[in-house]
Structure 1
Amino acid sequence: MKVINVGILGFGKGAQIYNAPIIQSVKGFNLKKGKTNNPTSVDYAKEHFPEMEVVSTDDDILDDADIQLVIIVTSNTSHFSLAKAALEKGKNVIVDKPFTITTAEADELIALANEKHLMLTVHQNRRFDGDFQTLHKLLESNKLGNIATFEIHFDRFRNEPKLNAWREEDIPGSGVLYDLGAHIFDQAVQLFGLPQSIMGDVFCQRKFSKAVDAFNVIWKYDSGLRIVLTASMLVAQDMPHYVLNGDNGSYVKYGMDPQEDALRTGEKPSENPNWGVENPANYGKLVYFDKNKKVEEVVPTEIGDYRLFYQNIYDHLTDGAQLKVQASESRNIIRLIELAMQSTAENKWINWF
């Protein structure tokens, strides 16, 4: 089996939780180096990933001829510059979401990767959530008929400032629109495609907030479909994660995919035979009509698996498999974020086309 040597730029929580344990669980990858200067992260890496060499500079990874794949898990403001530097060094690149801060940056990176015939993709791991996969299956069944509205809620509760958190500072790319929006915008596009027009309400909800901490965004389609995408840091009770309404029924799903909580507790997919299996208490509820008879069903959640993202990367680099996450798709997510902010500033609907 061909081995792909991997270097991770930025070995903070994002790499420790969402990337390194998954990489370790996919055969063919060798986690060769991770870069961090944070003493706590250095200690964590040495304890949990002892086979990985911890380095202190970006060039320790970028100048390593044995490393074929560079993963960028740093603050959003550095995604563009580090991805560009890695591509210029001849590395295949995975960028954590959000891809970049601006569409112009994304376009430049895509052009550079194409010029150098290198892989460039974005870690849109929530495409591999079990409940999102369930939505795909449900739509294929057509039990709901023509879809009229779709809602995604991605909420948290944090009513005090989080210290030393760049995501909560007033800098480009900070806040929940780039953080959580990058996930749920991507999911909505995967299910229904790009919208015709966008209305955004992007704002700071908590008095102490320096960065955007809430948004309500509506997408409108020529078919009549409306998609509502929301996030807030002041939701203390469970809200539905997904709400899907059609002209023949509705589907409502509470709770989040279990993989994130498992990763946060230190679990690894390779060590858990029930990885990605959701608690039946969180299964979604479906109501639809069959020959005018009301039918109510509990819908078992598909098994989620974040390993599928990295397995696809390995298959692409070794056998030329089609990438499941195209950089151009993630570029469009950045454009949708920009349009949501523009709509908020101008207080009007903004057309995609």
Structure 2
Amino acid sequence: MSTEKITDNVQFAYWVPNVSGGLVTSTIDQRTSWDFEYNKRLAQTAERNGFDYALSQVRYMASYGAEYQHESTSFSLALLLATERLKVIAAVHPGLWQPAVLAKFGATADHLSNGRFAVNVVSGWFSGEFRALGEPWLEHDERYRRSAEFLEVLRKIWTEDHVDFGGDFYRIRDFTLKPKPLNTPQRPNPELFQGGNSTAARSNGGRYADWYFSNGKDFDGVTEQLDDLRAVARAHDREVRFGLNAFIIARDTEREARDTLREIVEKANTEAVEGFRDSVKQAGKSTSDGKGMWADSSFEDLVQYNDGFRSQLIGTPEQVAERIVAYKKLGVDLILGGFLHFQEEIEYFGAKVLPLVRELEASSTSASVS
């Protein structure tokens, strides 16, 4: 098995703004809010406009323009209960969660939402957060070794009885979870996402996760990541889907879209971006091979703190749709979108961009069959 062409249609997710400051570190006006009522309406809007997933961010203390933050798992559950179809992914940090405790929460959330709860395992870059909470800070590859055990334990507890696990970070003795999540042939247990860019992240994604989340990348960057991910997945007889981060600026004209990007960067909160860059550069460069997240990010890239501008989903609806389908042809299964003005831009995307994506996908399929 391989990761090639697992889905017929590219799927869409959006970043849940459960953290203050929006999705760009800039003083530009962002018509968004981190409060629950706004986010409840936004989740319902996204669901109506063709989005499949939402990803709740995780922060425990203020950092680099994000002064306030709601906890990701509880916030995700609230959004699940306010929607009917949308799947909500909660980002979690190994080291701050015990996997069996999260497995218990996840099983309950899965029952309450009729099988729509998912987890994104992020290994952590913010050392100050761990230290403030009295938790040991591990170097990059050790954090990903811990994440690998975390993913393995979650899967075992959700699918097996009398679980025993003896690792370097977690030890489980004869543990049985009841009730288990809602298992179906289409979805055997809550979906597991592995975030990252590094070789260690790709290994974890290929071996243990259902999905691999990448920071923003151009076509060459996506191809390089996919080649590695596919090699790992094939070696373990697995299939792994690929999600790509992108900051989406779709406007009626290309000039308007490019002017918006230019204004975002011109109004960047320089102090916050530089502080973020200092923290994450250390995280990226601490990998054994220098391929970590943000290892080669520029100042402009980091104004959107997951390199979302690099994916270049910026332009008219036609231009954005064409580039999305080009990514799909490379093997991208899901676009994780951030927006400047979430509510109205998700509506615009659903009305103007998504129909074009589906038309292009259909025409591409017809051409390949004929």
TM-score by length of 2: 0.33
Structure number having the greater helix percentage: 2
The structure whose Rg is larger is 1
Structure number having the greater strand percentage: 1
